[in-house]
A and B are shown apart, each in its own frame.
Chain A
């Protein structure tokens, strides 16, 4: 039986640091190995959704032979239902900068970038001001490091790390073949650490509070807490930092409207969990992982409309380069419409499910691979809604 936790609100990410200069200075004084070790000990995994251990990422990048290395903050938060990074950048941007500075010191980067999604451009002026202050602080602390903010221009796929590099290089945001991975071949072909906004703040926090404090939260596979973006049919939508490892039942008790029929965990690329599975579903890497997006649907919602909406999204936001994703998304969208209209028999849904299996196995990047998640979980669990 997997370890379970009770829902618990936590307050780490948004806590103001009264003496940030000291926090940063102390963090920067620790040795690189020490920092990497405490990240590894803490069990921190990437908060963007994929969950790669942050300490490993830093370690691998630091080990690469290179004349130049970069650290990049992935603020291309585009997953439907996710909006926590915006809030973090709005409220505590200096902590994000701080996490980047520590990472830069560890891997030996002189330049860092924040790739801010175009939809959040309104944050830019204020961010830039705070960044200027931060740079002054870095000068005082004697760290040779500069952060630049670049903005995206409306492309979900640029949240995929290699697509993000391509975009930064002035190209179409098309994911690259992997391997090689960013730790070896990232921005401009150089070793690159790319972390989610939230991950960077946790990394800084771990430097400050130590691995143990972080590790005391969460479960074996999912250490620590996480910022959740909660929306849909809930009386209290918003941003909440919660300990990882709670069950979905627990979550719905707190955030549901009493009539929750399903929860989309992890955005359109994640899984749709039906009521019957709430009890046994743990939110975390051992159960259903999420980059933070939690969308609740009550019984008034048509799950056909939900999946149709996702498919429209994917059909448009696929970069279009690989066959399974480009053509697969179009086929799924038109396919569910055809079944709904009665132009295709119910059994066609099974063909489409098989297709998502292929997409999962063969798509070039996470986008195409993950369309299967929501499609299968919705079509399997709400088949009647696909037809009637």
Chain B
């Protein structure tokens, strides 16, 4: 049994193989792997008696259920109106410079993926971003530098 098979099996055992548990299982894979690959989706399909296309179709509906390879830290910068007004662009540029990737890309060491996302619900404290599940608000260029430095340092 491959690691992916093992992981999917554990998740299905934990949540159950009824379709109502599909979101939790897909999220479980994301929590561990940051994205859903071919093997993970086929395994989920097998365990839940769905077709692989159905699982893929469902996953691809949700922004956070990435079906493209992602880095260990997925950065999602809010691009919705108030964050945009409060300087999202500078934040994004700083991140692009720091990580040496464009939006949508993953660093070659597979550490970071830089993405934009829709309203994070921190409009009064924009600009905001998520790194994996954690929210960072009232961002400044300086603050972003510190955050990235700290992550790099800690890992």
Contacts and interface: CB of A to CB of B under 8 A. Distances in A.
A and B touch in the complex (CB under 8 A): yes
A156 B118 contact: yes
A17 to B, nearest CB: 25
B123 A151 contact: no
Given A168-B20, A237-B123, A231 B82 contact: yes
A313 B118 contact: yes
B103 interface: no
A168 B15 CA distance: 13
A223 to B, nearest CB: 26
A229 B123 contact: yes
Nearest to B121: A83
A188 B20 contact: yes
A122 B26 CA distance: 18
B82 A232 contact: yes
Interface in B19-44: 19-24, 26-27, 30
Given A122-B133, A155-B63, A301-B85, A83 B122 contact: yes
A262 interface: no
A168 to B, nearest CB: 6
Nearest to A312: B79
A232 B61 contact: no
A180 interface: no
Interface in B55-73: 57-58, 61-65
B63 A309 contact: no
B10 to A, nearest CB: 18
A171 B134 contact: no
A169 B20 CA distance: 4
A120 interface: yes
A386 interface: no
Interface stretch (A72-80, A128-136, A327-335): A72-80
Contacts of A117: 121
Given A118-B64, A172-B57, A309-B81, A295 B119 contact: no
A198 interface: no
B100 interface: no
B46 to A, nearest CB: 15
B138 to A, nearest CB: 10
Q: Most chain-B Cβ atoms within 10 A of its Cβ — which of A117, A231, A233, A237? A: A231
Contacts of B20: 168-170, 188
Given A122-B135, A154-B64, A170-B19, A229 B80 contact: no
Secondary structure type dominating chain A contacts: mixed
Interface residues of B, number: 37
B48 to A, nearest CB: 8
Contacts, number: 126
Q: Most chain-B Cβ atoms within 10 A of its Cβ — which of A77, A233, A312? A: A312
A119 B61 contact: no
A167 interface: yes
A38 B67 CA distance: 49
A168 B24 CA distance: 9
B133 A155 contact: no
Interface string A231-257: 111000111000000000000000000
Contact of B61 (A83, A150, A172): A172
Nearest to B134: A122
A150 B82 contact: no
A81 B20 CA distance: 30
Nearest to B133: A121
Contact of A153 (B26, B119, B120): B26
Contacts of A310: 81
Contacts of B121: 77-78, 82-83, 86, 117, 119-120
Interface stretch (B91-99, B104-112, B124-132, B140-148): B124-132
Nearest to A319: B61
Given A153-B63, A170-B19, A237 B124 contact: yes
Q: Most chain-B Cβ atoms within 10 A of its Cβ — which of A170, A188, A297, A310? A: A170
Contacts of A81: 81-82, 119, 123
B117 interface: yes
Interface of A: 77-83, 86, 117-122, 150-156, 167-173, 188, 229-233, 237-239, 264, 268, 293, 295, 297, 301, 305-306, 309-310, 312-313, 316-317, 319
Given A122-B134, A268-B80, A306-B81, 11 more contacts: A121-B133, A153-B27, A153-B62, A154-B62, A156-B119, A167-B23, A169-B19, A170-B22, A171-B19, A171-B58, A309-B79
